Amino acid sequence: MLQGQDQLWLNEVVERVRTKLDWVSEKSREKIPYTTIDGTHDNRIVDNPSGTETDGINWWTNGFWGGMMWLMHHETGQEKYKEIAEFSERALDRCFDEFYGLHHDVGFMWLPTSVANYKVTGNGESRKRALHAANLLAGRFNLAGGFIRAWNDLEGEDTRGWAIIDCMFNIPLLYWATEETGDPRFKQIAMRHADTAIDAFVRGDGSVNHIVEFDPVNGGVVKTYGGQGYEEGSSWTRGQTWALYGFMMSYIHTGKIEYLHTAKRIAHYFMANIPESGLIPIDFRQPKEPAYEDSTAAAIAACGLIEIAKAVQANERDVYIRAAVKLLRTLDESRSDWTSATDCLLLNGSAAYHNPNRHTAIIYGDYYFMEAIFKLKGNDLYLW
Ligand code: GLY
């Protein structure tokens, strides 16, 4: 995909990823990390900083460490990565027992762990876990509104009608379940949700809402929320990337051309807003100062842009690849840490605009950075 200086850079960054993951994987082999504390990975198997049922082992990001291990197993062929991935997959079984901590994010949790394991090894236990998760996700579908419900009940809020753009990343679990079992119900639900998202989330300029509330009994949009972005009507960048790459995934699984067109519309909005610096803010409509960033949005966008490049005609590809390389080179050159001082790869991830823990290590930033790098190399393991 690349030439000249970009290809040389890619070769070097692949080596940096391989070197760092070699020792980080050993150091964190019995953990499921989300972030770093004083440079060391935390461990969501035991840590529960918020003390809530959706945190700890049920935390929505707990599939990404396993996903990183499967990417490394694919890249290196080394057995140790498979063993670490399987350890984290087994640790997640407790979530099924506890049940109440699970919500729409079961795709993020079991696609990069159990579906990955099943695709690579044919493990029957992994298939069972993934189908169980798919059934939980399908069970969240609201027939009147044509959407998958987001979180469970939140204190002081009636969230029965809430759907969020992030769910575009969970519905590939439903596509997989139909591909695996031949039962069309899962795919039907996924496509209904994606179609609703086109109508209710994607705005005229190609940007997307984070949260849309529907009437849970009669359907129909009630209102929108700014969610993890700056404010209602703003443009939370990670949400843009969940949509960009998410619609691309729906296109990959269904071939429905409207999904590709939607992914491209969002991508063009996103590319037009990439600052000269290549550093992505938390929200494209946030105040200029403080200049809060989210490195995770850059990494996810790069993955989606590369997937679009693979799907379009040769003469269209360059614009997407150039944007992806700009984002990734910026991350590598100014927002990464390849030293032994920290267990993470990327710096300056931000969970949400109004969350004071900004500019931290976040595991999915590292995951998507690796996925994008291996995609550019041309040998990624497609986990979605
Ligand atoms: N899916 C939640 C987030 O992106 O933070």
Sign of CA dihedral 251, 255, 260, 261: negative
Tokens representing 7 are 């290809």
Query: Residues near ligand 1 with C-beta < 6 Å?
Result: 166, 228, 238, 351
Tokens representing 181 are 């079992």
The whole-angstrom separation of Cα 63 and Cα 85 is 9
Domain of 366, in residue numbers: 4-377
Query: What SS3 class is residue 156?
Result: coil
- Give Cβ neighbours of residue 120 (< 8 Å, ≥ 6 apart): 70, 73, 74, 82, 381
DSSP 43: -
Going from the Cα of 156 to the center of ligand 1, the distance in angstroms, rounded, reads 21
* 359 part of a folded domain: yes
The whole-angstrom separation of Cα 249 and Cα 260 is 9
Going from the Cα of 50 to the center of ligand 1, the distance in angstroms, rounded, reads 16
Q: Into how many domains does the chain fold?
A: 1
* 383 part of a folded domain: no
Q: Which ligand 1 atom is nearest residue 164's CA?
A: 1
CA 82 to chain centre: 21
Going from the Cα of 289 to the center of ligand 1, the distance in angstroms, rounded, reads 23
Nearest CA to ligand 1 atom 1: 166
Other CB atoms within 10 A of residue 18 CB: 14
* 309 part of a folded domain: yes
Among the listed residues 81, 61, 14, 46, the one whose alpha carbon sits nearest the alpha carbon of residue 367: 61
Going from the Cα of 3 to the center of ligand 1, the distance in angstroms, rounded, reads 34
Sign of CA dihedral 281, 241, 330, 384: positive
Write down the pLDDT at residue 136.
98
Residue 223: in which H helix or E strand, if any? strand 221-225
DSSP 161: T
Query: What SS3 class is residue 32?
Result: coil
* 384 part of a folded domain: no
* 116 part of a folded domain: yes
Among the listed residues 378, 344, 292, 320, the one whose alpha carbon sits nearest the alpha carbon of residue 61: 344
Going from the Cα of 6 to the center of ligand 1, the distance in angstroms, rounded, reads 30
Among the listed residues 180, 306, 296, the one whose alpha carbon sits nearest the alpha carbon of residue 236: 296
Number of H helices, E strands in the chain: 14, 7
Write down the pLDDT at residue 138.
98
The whole-angstrom separation of Cα 48 and Cα 57 is 8
* Cα-only R_g, the chain: 19
Tokens representing 211 are 């949260």
* 322 part of a folded domain: yes
The whole-angstrom separation of Cα 143 and Cα 286 is 35
Annotated catalytic sites, by residue?
A: 105, 166
Does this model's pTM top 0.95? yes
Pairing of strands 147-148, 162-164: unpaired
Q: Which ligand 1 atom is nearest residue 352's CA?
A: 5
Write down the pLDDT at residue 1.
83
Q: Which ligand 1 atom is nearest residue 351's CA?
A: 5
Q: Which ligand 1 atom is nearest residue 166's CA?
A: 1
Query: Among 60, 244, 300, which is best to mutate for testing ligand 1, by the most ligand atoms less than 8 A from CB?
Result: 60
* 253 part of a folded domain: yes
Tokens representing 202 are 């994607």
pLDDT of the chain along its 384 residues, tens only?
899 999 999 999 999 999 999 999 999 999 999 999 999 999 999 999 999 999 999 999 999 999 999 999 999 999 999 999 999 999 999 999 999 999 999 999 999 999 999 999 999 999 999 999 999 999 999 999 999 999 999 888 999 999 999 999 999 999 999 999 999 999 999 999 999 999 999 999 999 999 999 999 999 999 999 999 999 999 999 999 999 999 999 999 999 999 999 999 999 999 999 999 999 999 999 999 999 999 999 999 999 999 999 999 999 999 999 999 999 999 999 999 999 999 999 999 999 999 999 999 999 999 999 999 999 999 889 999
Going from the Cα of 12 to the center of ligand 1, the distance in angstroms, rounded, reads 30
Q: Which ligand 1 atom is nearest residue 364's CA?
A: 4
Write down the pLDDT at residue 319.
98
The whole-angstrom separation of Cα 266 and Cα 210 is 13
Query: Among 108, 162, 166, which is best to mutate for testing ligand 1, by the most ligand atoms less than 8 A from CB?
Result: 166
CA 257 to chain centre: 22
Going from the Cα of 144 to the center of ligand 1, the distance in angstroms, rounded, reads 25
Angle formed at CA 241 by CA 249 and CA 184, multiple of 5 degrees: 25
CATH value at residue 96: 1.50.10.10
